Amino acid sequence: MMGKTGLAALSLSLLVSAFPARAGVELYSADYSITFLGIKVAESSFASAVSDTNFRMTGSINSAGLGAMFDSTNGTTVSEGTFENSATRPYSYVVAYNYGKTAKRTTLSFSGGRLTSMENVPELPPRRPDWVKVSDADLQNVADPISATLVRAASPAKVCGRTISFFDGEFRADIVLTPAQSKPSGLAKDTVACDAKLVPVSGYHANNASVKYLRSKSRMQIAFAPLGKTGVYAPVYASVGTQFGPVTIRAERISASQ
């Protein structure tokens, strides 16, 4: 099995070949840990190529620690797109993962912030009567869940105070960001912390207890760090309160590559 260092090197080499190095393109790699109630359950690695106008991100996630003892989960994702002023506009998104013996894949295509095509393999199952259907209007000015985490801002003060709209092939939601009064310990001085509120839009069961909790009771915070001088900020920390306890994602390493 390839270790995280080998995976990051491979991902970066693929980025260089797909996104040829030239003036203005910066390459980054990062490792994240995911904990539940303070216990590590998964880890993730990302490699990114970012310029003033374009981005490409490749990533992987694997169950780890206590999580690996109860299930085997692993997946990969690729997201590509452009920046238009302060908006992130993806044009393709692919995620494939295995949960135990179950394999799933979602492919999304976008144009001008609008979803143009979608494929879920296998197809999504039938839903109960309380299902909130996704409308065509819900899929305007939307991004995939990976590209949505890249924030283009003219200054740190402009990172928060915005709404992130995302669609993952099933669930459509908004994340409303507002400036936080304080930020988590252990983060660099140039990080920007935002309080976050999840607003479910469609693609969920209206009576789902977890969604109700996230919408009305969950406390969320996301911290972003600048990627060099690109004007792009990427998440380095996120904390989400669930009805079972807090889930935290923290960057263990993020670095520029040549």
Q: What is the pLDDT of residues 66-115, one digit of tens each?
A: 554 456 678 999 999 999 877 899 999 999 998 878 899 999 999 999 99
The per-residue pLDDT for range 24-60, each reduced to its tens digit, is 789 999 999 999 888 888 899 999 999 888 999 999 9
Q: With 50 as the cut, is the pLDDT of residue 12 above it? A: no
Number of domains composing the chain: 1
Residues spanned by the domain of 41: 4-257
Cα distance between residue 42 and residue 244, in whole Å = 17
**CA neighbor of 113 nearest in space, from 87, 85, 78:** 87
- Number of other CB atoms surrounding residue 90 within 10 Å: 26
Cα distance between residue 144 and residue 13, in whole Å = 24
Cα distance between residue 73 and residue 68, in whole Å = 8
Omega before 122 within 30 of 0, i.e. cis: yes
Residue 10: its pLDDT value, please? Answer: 38
Q: With 50 as the cut, is the pLDDT of residue 20 above it? A: no
3-state helix, strand, coil in the chain (%, to 5): 15, 55, 30
